[in-house]
Amino acid sequence: MFEAIVFDMDGVLVDSEPIHYATTNEVLGARGAWIARADYDGYLGMDELAFFAELVRRFGLDDPPQVLARERIALSLGRLAQEPLPPLPGVLELILALRGEGRAMAVASSASRHQVRLVLDRLGITGCMQAIISKDDVQAGKPAPDLYLAAAAGLSLDPSCCLAIEDAALGVASARAAGMTVLALVPAGSDDTAHREAGARACLSGLEGLSVERLDALAAAAE
C-alpha cells in the first residue's frame, strides 16, 4: 500500500494544455512563428525555460527564452483566472476518496508557483495537498527527478512510498528517476510506448472510476 500520491497538474488534474498551446502561439505569432499541436505535445512536461530554449533554436528567434517564458506565463495566468477550468473526470472523486482513507497527497508541476496555486485554488483542492511543488522550488525541471524528490521531502516520505500520476513521458521519467512508482494517463487509442519506456508501471485512459483499492493493487504489483 502506498502512503502518498503525487499528482502532476496539467493533463492530470485539469486540462489546461489548450490554454498553454494557444498562448504559446500568441508569443510565437508575434515573432512570425507557429507550432503545430502535435509538435507542441512532444514537449509536454518539459521545464518552461528548456521548452522555450528549444523553440528559440527551432525557429531561430532573437529573444532569449526567459523573455518568451515570461510572456507566456503572463498570458496563461490571465486566461486561467478567467476561462472555465473544470477538473478532469474522476479527479475530485479520487481526491476525496484518498482524503477519506487518510492518504497524503502532493502536486509536482513544471508550472510556476503562481500558476499552480491559481489552478488548485480554482479547483478547490489546495487544502487537500500536504505538499505543493512548482518549478520555482527546484533547480532542474522534468525529466530531472528534482520536482518529485522535493514532493517526497515535503511529505516527509521516502520516494519509494509514493505513487506518482503523470501524463507526459518526460514526467514519468522524472518520477521514476526519483524512485517512485508511476501510473501514466494516456488517452484511449493513443500510443503509450514512450510512457512505458520511461518507466510507467501501467497506462490508464483517465482517473474516472479509479478507486483507492485499484491504486493499491497497482502499487503492490510493482513491488
Specify whether 9 is located in the same domain as 108: yes
Give the residue numbers spanning the domain of 36.
17-82
What's the number of domains the chain is made of? 2
Specify whether 62 is located in the same domain as 95: no
**At 29, is the pLDDT very low, low, confident or very high (cuts 50, 70, 90)?**
very high
Contact of 23 with 40, CB cutoff 8 Å: no
Specify whether 128 is located in the same domain as 156: yes
Specify whether 61 is located in the same domain as 138: no
Specify whether 214 is located in the same domain as 117: yes
Catalytic residues: 8, 10
**At 132, is the pLDDT very low, low, confident or very high (cuts 50, 70, 90)?**
very high
What's the predicted TM-score (pTM) here? 0.88
DSSP per-residue codes, 7-37: E-SBTTTB--HHHHHHHHHHHHHTTT----H
Reading the block at residue 46, the C-alpha cell is: 518539459
Q: What is the CATH number of the domain that holds 142?
A: 3.40.50.1000
Final residue of a structural domain among 82, 114, 139:
82
Specify whether 61 is located in the same domain as 141: no
* Whether pLDDT at 151 is above 90: yes
